[in-house]
């Protein structure tokens, strides 16, 4: 579930409310990177896991149309390895730069005997801001609106418990090549999550965006319907975007049904925009990679054609 919470969106809940006289809402998000950390430990790739951490929170808050303001991190380990921590923090800094937000600081916790040697845990917290009249909440979505998909870099940061089971079953190691590709499985699986902040905020600024879904755990099946008013659903066009090779390998090696793949992974689309037909034509003609992946229909849930 998206972790973003619009502070003040419900003014009846006074403990969360911003003064009604203000013209903006604060939007907050918090998340981690799940068991992708296990692959970081096994591959030794630590300099991009911080990008994943920032991405998971800031990609959530931009679904409300909010611009990220600042980020905080929490890093916990049994005994601090300064060189390792610096690699992780480097990724967090990179993620904040990609998001155009400030890294205000965070917490580093040493907890002897709580974590295995060389292992750590991460969580992050982002706060953004959006004008009240510009909040994207999906209320004006209607039948015929277009679903625009923005490409992912791969698995991003969800579904790694299943990925690790598939990897164990496959008989391959993280050092082996992804079948048919030039990169290793470790490199493909550890590709950092795309941070969509600048691209999405630019698209929003031009108008016509009615709803946004960050495709995280739950894939298309769970995430897209959350942005729709009651009585509306999504029709996804099969084969309307290229599915990255890593997903094809996961499905084949794990003998996974299509439905489970679409319920677990982003399948190559990390963000879905619900746009008017006019806005959709503009987005698709502007040169950046984006795909018309479906439309809004009467009904509920997600169907495929």
* Residue 247 predicted with pLDDT over 90: yes
What is the mean pLDDT of the segment spanning 138-152?
97
What is the mean pLDDT of the segment spanning 96-106?
95
The percentage of the chain sitting over the pLDDT mark of 90, rounded to a whole number, equals: 90
CATH class of the domain at 146-304: alpha beta
Give the per-residue pLDDT at 61: 97
Mean per-residue pLDDT over the chain, rounded: 91
CATH architecture of 5-134: 2-Layer Sandwich (3.30)
Query: Which tens digits make up the pLDDT trace of 276-302?
Result: 999 999 999 987 899 999 999 999 999
Give the per-residue pLDDT at 287: 77
Domain ranges of the chain: 5-134, 146-304
Query: Which tens digits make up the pLDDT trace of 207-243?
Result: 999 999 999 999 999 999 999 999 999 999 999 999 9
Give the per-residue pLDDT at 18: 39
What span, in angstroms and rounded, lies between the C-alpha atoms of 52 and 92?
Answer: 8
Give the per-residue pLDDT at 147: 98
Burial code of 296-305, b = ≥16 C-beta within 10 A, e = fewer?
beeeeebeee
Give the per-residue pLDDT at 19: 44
Query: Which tens digits make up the pLDDT trace of 118-127?
Result: 899 999 999 9
What is the mean pLDDT of the segment spanning 178-206?
96
* Residue 16 predicted with pLDDT over 50: no
Give the per-residue pLDDT at 13: 30
Give the per-residue pLDDT at 22: 75
Beta strand 232-236 pairing with 302-304: parallel
- In degrees and rounded to multiples of 5, residue 193 shows phi and psi of -60, 135
What is the mean pLDDT of the segment spanning 197-212?
97
Give the per-residue pLDDT at 137: 94
What is the mean pLDDT of the segment spanning 93-122?
94
Beta strand 102-110 pairing with 232-236: unpaired
Give the per-residue pLDDT at 288: 83
1 near 218, Cβ under 8 Å?
A: yes
* Residue 267 predicted with pLDDT over 70: yes
pTM for this entry = 0.90
Give the per-residue pLDDT at 297: 96
User: Which of 8-22, 48-62, 215-229 shows the lowest mean pLDDT across its residues?
Assistant: 8-22
Query: Which tens digits make up the pLDDT trace of 20-36?
Result: 337 999 999 999 999 99
The percentage of the chain sitting over the pLDDT mark of 70, rounded to a whole number, equals: 93
User: What does the H/E/C string look like for the chain?
Assistant: CCCCEEECCCCCCHHHCCCCCCCEEEEEEEECCCCHHHHHHHHCCCCCHHHHHHHHHHHHHHHHCCEEEEEEEEEEECCCCHHHHHHHHHHHHHHHHHHCCEEEEEEEEECCCCCCCCCEEEEEEEEEEEEHHHCCCCCCCCCCCEEEEEECCCCCCCCHHHHHHHHHHHCCCCCCECCCCCCEHHHHHCCCCCCCHHHHHHHHHCCCEEEEEECCCCHHHHHHHHHCCCCEEEEECCCCCCCCHHHHHHHHHHCCCHHHHHHHCCCCEEEEEEECHHHHHHHHHCCCCCEEEEEEEECCCEEEC
* Residue 6 predicted with pLDDT over 60: no
């Amino acid at each position: 579930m998206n972790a973003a919470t619009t502070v003040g969106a419900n003014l009846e809940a006074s403990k969360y409310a911003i003064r009604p006289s203000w013209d903006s809402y604060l939007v907050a998000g918090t998340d981690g990177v799940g068991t992708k950390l296990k692959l970081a430990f096994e591959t030794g790739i630590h300099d991009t896991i911080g990008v994943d951490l920032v991405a998971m929170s800031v990609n959530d808050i931009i679904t409300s149309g909010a611009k990220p303001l600042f980020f905080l991190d929490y890093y916990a380990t049994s005994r601090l390895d300064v060189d390792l921590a610096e690699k992780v923090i480097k990724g967090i800094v990179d993620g904040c730069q990609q998001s155009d937000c400030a890294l205000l600081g965070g917490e580093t916790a040493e907890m002897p005997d709580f974590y295995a040697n060389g292992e750590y845990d991460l969580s992050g917290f982002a706060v953004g801001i959006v004008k009240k009249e510009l909040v994207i909440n999906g209320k004006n979505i209607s039948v015929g609106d277009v679903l625009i998909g923005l490409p992912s870099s791969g698995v991003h940061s969800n579904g790694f418990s299943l990925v690790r089971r598939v990897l164990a079953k496959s008989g391959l190691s993280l050092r082996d090549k992804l079948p048919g590709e030039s990169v290793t499985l470790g490199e493909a699986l550890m590709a950092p999550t795309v941070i969509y902040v600048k691209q999405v905020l630019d698209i929003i600024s031009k108008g016509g965006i009615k709803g946004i879904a960050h495709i995280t755990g739950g894939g298309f099946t769970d995430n897209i319907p959350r942005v729709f008013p009651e009585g509306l659903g999504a029709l996804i066009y099969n084969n309307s975007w290229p599915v990255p090779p890593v997903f094809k390998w996961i499905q084949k090696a794990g003998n996974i049904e299509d439905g489970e793949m679409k319920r677990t992974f982003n399948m190559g689309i990390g963000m879905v925009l619900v746009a008017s037909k006019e806005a959709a034509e503009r987005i698709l003609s502007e040169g950046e990679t984006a795909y018309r992946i479906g439309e809004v229909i009467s009904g509920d849930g997600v169907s495929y054609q």
